[in-house]
Amino acid sequence: MSVVPLFNLAPDLTVSRLCFGTMTFGEQNSLSQSFHLLDKAFNSGINFFDSAEMYPVPQRQDTQGRSEEYLGRWIRERKLPRDRIVLATKVTGPSGQMTWIRDGPKCLDACNIAEAIDNSLLRLQTDYIDLYQIHWPDRYVPMFGETEYDPIRQFESIGIEEQLEAIGRAVKAGKIRYVGLSNETPYGVMKFLHRTELSPSYPRIISLQNAYSLLSRTFDSGLAECCHHERVYLLAYSPLAMGILSGKYLLSDGAPSDARFNLFKGRYREGESRYNLSSTKVKEATKAYLAVAAKYGIHPVSLAIAFVLNHPIVASAVFGATKPWQLQQILDSCKLKLSPQVIDEIDKIHFMFPNPCP
């Protein structure tokens, strides 16, 4: 029975307001476990599934691509009509660290993008991708916990025109339906949109997948205005701040041993630096939000997800779950509408502890 509401991301693209992120598939979750979670999500009304060519994380050569492979096998083996599933995936931006993905990847030129699209289609066992996203920009930007722009760190990058031209060819070939960005800035969003206005043959950006949660509301400072006026919707990832907002890391025993930050301690630098469990501000802000949840008799997970879905520009919350009971907690959050009193208390905490996990 469906419990998840829907949202029209584009005229002919309706997505569930919960999007199942699959970055644990192939690392924390086996194939059978992944299938079980996907079955439960789909049978509960979730039609929107997000992946990336670099997944699962922590990223390594031996597992790269498994998340897409598992997702594709599930659709094929369950014999699901392709038009009932909305598939989103991403091309890896310049890294230099993941040498097993096109030598780095070194850049997002036309050849890299074309190769990434074709490889994702093969792993997903599909003819087309509903939403194809640039995982992060092909230029220097402060991201994954960084907040201040440093001009001297800029490197030679591929122009937006070449990126749009390559993706546009895939759209014309029927390999991609729609295009989105991820981990972008107001400057980047507007530059992509400006190029499509100058060259209508380029595909228009319809979505932005950036972090948004009780602990990370930087989207509201600049990006929200861009997206509102340009009709670009937010796909809010990490709505639970990597599980911190569930409260499990504040337990006396420091959360279960298989919780992500315990399981991959020292192996997941991006997450550990951004969602710093040793930060006093992170701990105090989380305790304050947990207190609001307790005061109003709301599950902490429901509070966190409902807050994200309350945002008028959010189309869908991109979440992860490694266990069925975690997925159920997420599904239960769809039933909750936060009162003005709860929102007011949330905003007061945000004023005291603004964006401890940017």
Catalytic residue annotation: 55
Distance of CA 172 to the CA centre of its chain: 26
Distances (CA, A) of 298 to 154, 183, 277, 290, 304: 45, 30, 23, 9, 10
Distances (CA, A) of 56 to 103, 157, 200: 18, 26, 35
CA 273/CA 209 separation, integer angstroms: 20
Please, are residues 218 and 191 in contact by the beta-carbon 8 Å criterion?
no
Q: What is the DSSP letter of 213?
A: B
Please report the DSSP string for 254-266 in residue order. Answer: -S-TTSHHHHTTT
Please, are residues 335 and 2 in contact by the beta-carbon 8 Å criterion?
no
Of 87, 80, 70, 67, the C-alpha closest to 23 is 67
Q: Any idea what the Cα angle at residue 338 is, between residues 336 and 344, rounded to 5°?
A: 160
Reduced to 3 states (helix: H, G, I; strand: E, B; else coil), residue 50 is strand
* Contacting residues for 3 by C-beta, under 8 A, at least 6 apart: 44, 45, 331, 334, 335
Which stretches does DSSP call E strand in 174-298?
Answer: 176-182, 205-211, 233-237
**Residues in a beta bridge with 182:** 209
CA 319/CA 334 separation, integer angstroms: 13
End-to-end CA distance of the chain: 36
Which stretches does DSSP call E strand in the chain?
Answer: 6-10, 13-16, 18-21, 48-50, 86-91, 129-134, 176-182, 205-211, 233-237, 314-319
